Amino acid sequence: MQKIIVLDRDGVINIDSDAYIKSAKEWMPEAGSIEAIQSLKQAGWLVAIATNQSGIKRGYYSKQQLSAMHQKLQRLLFEAGCKAGVDWINFAPYLTEDNSPARKPNTGMLTAIEQRFGLSLVGMPMVGDTLADMKVAQAKKMQPYLVKTGKGERTLASNDALLADIPVYSNLQAAVEALLQ
Annotated catalytic residues are 8, 10
Three-state secondary-structure class, residue 78: helix
Beta-bridge partners for 7: 49, 127
- Please report which residue ranges of the chain form alpha helices under DSSP H: 33-42, 63-79, 108-117, 131-139, 152-157, 172-180
| Distances 3 to 41, 108, 122 between C-alpha atoms, Å | 10, 20, 11
Nearest-angstrom CA–CA distance, 40 and 46 = 8
Residues of the chain by 3-state class (helix, strand, coil), percent to 5: 35, 15, 45
Asked if 54 and 102 count as a contact pair (C-beta separation under 8 A), the reply is no
Contacts of 103 (CB under 8 A, 6+ apart): 52, 54, 92, 94, 95, 96
Q: How far apart are CA 98 and CA 34, in angstroms?
A: 33
